[in-house]
Amino acid sequence: MEQTAIRERISRWVDAHREEYLRDVARLVAVRSVGGEGKEGMPFGEGPAEALAEALKLAGEHGFLTRNYDGYVMTADLLPGETALDILAHLDVVGEGEGWDTDPYTAVEKDGCLYGRGTDDDKGPAVAALYAMACVRDVAAGELKKNVRLILGTDEESGSRDIRYYYEREKSAPCTFSPDADFPVINTEKGGFVGSFRRSWAPSGVLPRVSSLEGGFRINVLPADAAAVVLGVTKAEAERICAPLAAQLDVALTVTEAPGGVRIAVRGLGTHASTPDQGRNGITALIALLNALPLAKCASAEALRALGELLPHGDGAGKALGIAMADEISGALTLAFSLFRLTEEGCEGSFDSRAPLCATEENCRSVAEKRFCEAGFDFLGNMRPPHHTPGDTPFVQSMLRSYELYTGRKGECIAMGGGTYVHDIPGGVAFGAAMPGFETNLHSANERMNIADMLTAIKIYAHVIYEICT
Ligand SMILES: [Zn+2]
């Protein structure tokens, strides 16, 4: 079929399936598929298992051949026989956190968007890929020569043990894309660098002192919220000192009375750990506030002061830690201090850094380790290599062309903070499903997808499938 004809057929088919598509996304959003403790036949807990069951049902209803890989992943095949293209998406989600305007597990259509946990990451795109396959089957059945396999995992947010399990049993297709990021094509992903630190001390009775602090819920989420209990301070004094600084840091402050002192809570703005500059970190803001209080000299005060220097509020580049760096292809290192707990006996925390191609053990991990050890912490750092697929392959060129055809925008290859599903798959790229510039509220409250954009994404995917499989 010539390009204009296939484009028109694809567009007509997708536009006619809008309501059906949104209903199917809503079915998956309704499942709270947050990773949990593994059980018999449910390696990542009940939520992901329930989402897998629902997706198997859905793909079956659409007439695809499905298979369940022991609760780790499911596949849906367009045709029997040789596979030309793997599409990799996931059904698990991160926890809902706080601050939602609507129920996170009820998909709500509002202002041209569909709201709900997983609408963008990654249930909406997963169903979009399924619809793209259905579309090609319906509009070009006779021309299809090769299979497309949709692989839906259930552990993307907690370490991708699902696709490791799958690729231990199956070989990867010659082409792989993952609709788990943004358009146009992401062919370069930074490496990962996770640093964890801890320090213990003997309980102290001095006042004022911080007796507990808690912030963050996942390593890859820059947290909005953090709260601490400070003993030996009045509410009036805490407010007098903290309020102006909180305003300056642009975080909401709540001080309440607690036995023997006050509880200080801050709320900034949560975001994905790979884009720290788009958020306001509750942990680092709270540490800055605590460091402004007249704390008595003790180990916890000392640790908080050190952390305020090593990982200061607003430093999303690792400058203070001495690991800020950048290169042409992959951009700048980012750093998010994402988990922290402090008690009367010690503290522990972690940061999630995304390191460019130029990062090495010497200029990154060793530098951070040295700084933390000098400040009296035990430190453990882990680096993960970056991912890069050349942008001039016929596969990538087909994706860029299809993107341009349906959006009228310029297609190009870009680098990102990384950790997409194709990170360890040779030749894999991330491809959509969000359009550039659209705020998805990924991993945060009020997650959403733009409905018109997602229909365009289905068309783009269908076109790529058509080009590769006929
Ligand atoms: Zn995702």
Q: How confident is the model at residue 263 (pLDDT cuts 50, 70, 90)?
A: very high
Phi, psi of 56 (to 5 degrees): -60, -45
75-84, 179-188, 351-360, 415-424: segment of lowest average pLDDT: 415-424
Q: Tell me how far the alpha carbon of residue 266 lies from the centroid of ligand 1, in angstroms.
A: 27
Q: Is there a single domain that holds both residue 333 and residue 379?
A: yes
Q: Tell me how far the alpha carbon of residue 121 lies from the centroid of ligand 1, in angstroms.
A: 5
159, pLDDT greater than 90: no
Interatomic CA distance for residues 49 and 463, integer angstroms: 31
Tell me the sheet residues that pair with 214: 227, 341
20, pLDDT greater than 90: yes
248, pLDDT greater than 90: yes
Q: How confident is the model at residue 328 (pLDDT cuts 50, 70, 90)?
A: confident
Q: Tell me how far the alpha carbon of residue 419 lies from the centroid of ligand 1, in angstroms.
A: 9
In terms of Cα–Cα distance, which of 397, 404, 362 is closest to 383?
Answer: 362
175, pLDDT greater than 80: yes
- The percentage of residues in the chain with a pLDDT greater than 90, rounded to a whole number, is 93
Q: How confident is the model at residue 339 (pLDDT cuts 50, 70, 90)?
A: very high
pLDDT value at residue 419: 73
417, pLDDT greater than 90: no
Q: Tell me how far the alpha carbon of residue 180 lies from the centroid of ligand 1, in angstroms.
A: 5
Q: Is there a single domain that holds both residue 406 and residue 275?
A: no
Which whole-number Å values give the CA distances from 176 to 27, 146, 170, 179, 266, in the listed order?
26, 14, 13, 10, 42
Q: Tell me how far the alpha carbon of residue 179 lies from the centroid of ligand 1, in angstroms.
A: 8
The CATH number of residue 39's host domain is 3.40.630.10
**Average predicted confidence (pLDDT) for the chain:** 96
259, pLDDT greater than 80: yes
Q: Tell me how far the alpha carbon of residue 344 lies from the centroid of ligand 1, in angstroms.
A: 37
Q: Is there a single domain that holds both residue 134 and residue 257?
A: no
Q: Are 187 and 423 in contact (CB under 8 A)?
A: no
Q: How confident is the model at residue 416 (pLDDT cuts 50, 70, 90)?
A: confident
Q: How confident is the model at residue 424 (pLDDT cuts 50, 70, 90)?
A: confident
Q: Is there a single domain that holds both residue 280 and residue 226?
A: yes
Q: Tell me how far the alpha carbon of residue 157 lies from the centroid of ligand 1, in angstroms.
A: 7
Q: Tell me how far the alpha carbon of residue 202 lies from the centroid of ligand 1, in angstroms.
A: 42
Q: Is there a single domain that holds both residue 203 and residue 73?
A: no
pLDDT, mean of residues 237-266: 98
1, pLDDT greater than 90: no
Q: Tell me how far the alpha carbon of residue 420 lies from the centroid of ligand 1, in angstroms.
A: 7
Q: Are 415 and 274 in contact (CB under 8 A)?
A: no
Q: How confident is the model at residue 428 (pLDDT cuts 50, 70, 90)?
A: very high
DSSP 341-399: EEETTEEEEEEEEEE-TT--IIIIIHHHHHHHHHTT-EEEEEEE--EE--TTSHHHHHH
Q: Tell me how far the alpha carbon of residue 409 lies from the centroid of ligand 1, in angstroms.
A: 24
Domain boundary among 363, 384, 405: 384
pLDDT, mean of residues 303-328: 97
pLDDT value at residue 25: 98
pLDDT, mean of residues 197-224: 96
Q: Is there a single domain that holds both residue 180 and residue 211?
A: no
Domain boundary among 322, 350, 384: 384
Q: Is there a single domain that holds both residue 222 and residue 345?
A: yes
Q: Tell me how far the alpha carbon of residue 252 lies from the centroid of ligand 1, in angstroms.
A: 29
Q: Is there a single domain that holds both residue 157 and residue 24?
A: yes
Q: Are 418 and 387 in contact (CB under 8 A)?
A: yes
Q: How many domains does the chain have?
A: 2
Residue 234, domain extent: 191-384
Q: How many CB atoms lie within 10 A of CB 200?
A: 12
Q: Is there a single domain that holds both residue 319 and residue 436?
A: no
The CATH number of residue 230's host domain is 3.30.70.360
Q: Is there a single domain that holds both residue 133 and residue 160?
A: yes
Q: Where are the alpha helices (DSSP H) in 30-64?
A: 46-61
Q: Tell me how far the alpha carbon of residue 126 lies from the centroid of ligand 1, in angstroms.
A: 10
- The percentage of residues in the chain with a pLDDT greater than 70, rounded to a whole number, is 100
Q: Tell me how far the alpha carbon of residue 301 lies from the centroid of ligand 1, in angstroms.
A: 38
Q: Tell me how far the alpha carbon of residue 162 lies from the centroid of ligand 1, in angstroms.
A: 13
Domain boundary among 384, 406, 431: 384
Interatomic CA distance for residues 426 and 376, integer angstroms: 41
pLDDT value at residue 418: 67
Q: Is there a single domain that holds both residue 223 and residue 269?
A: yes
Q: What angle do the packed helices 451-469 and 18-29 form, to 10 degrees? A: 100
Q: Tell me how far the alpha carbon of residue 82 lies from the centroid of ligand 1, in angstroms.
A: 27
Q: Tell me how far the alpha carbon of residue 92 lies from the centroid of ligand 1, in angstroms.
A: 8
Q: How confident is the model at residue 329 (pLDDT cuts 50, 70, 90)?
A: confident
Q: Is there a single domain that holds both residue 124 and residue 239?
A: no
Q: Tell me how far the alpha carbon of residue 36 lies from the centroid of ligand 1, in angstroms.
A: 17
pLDDT, mean of residues 424-445: 93
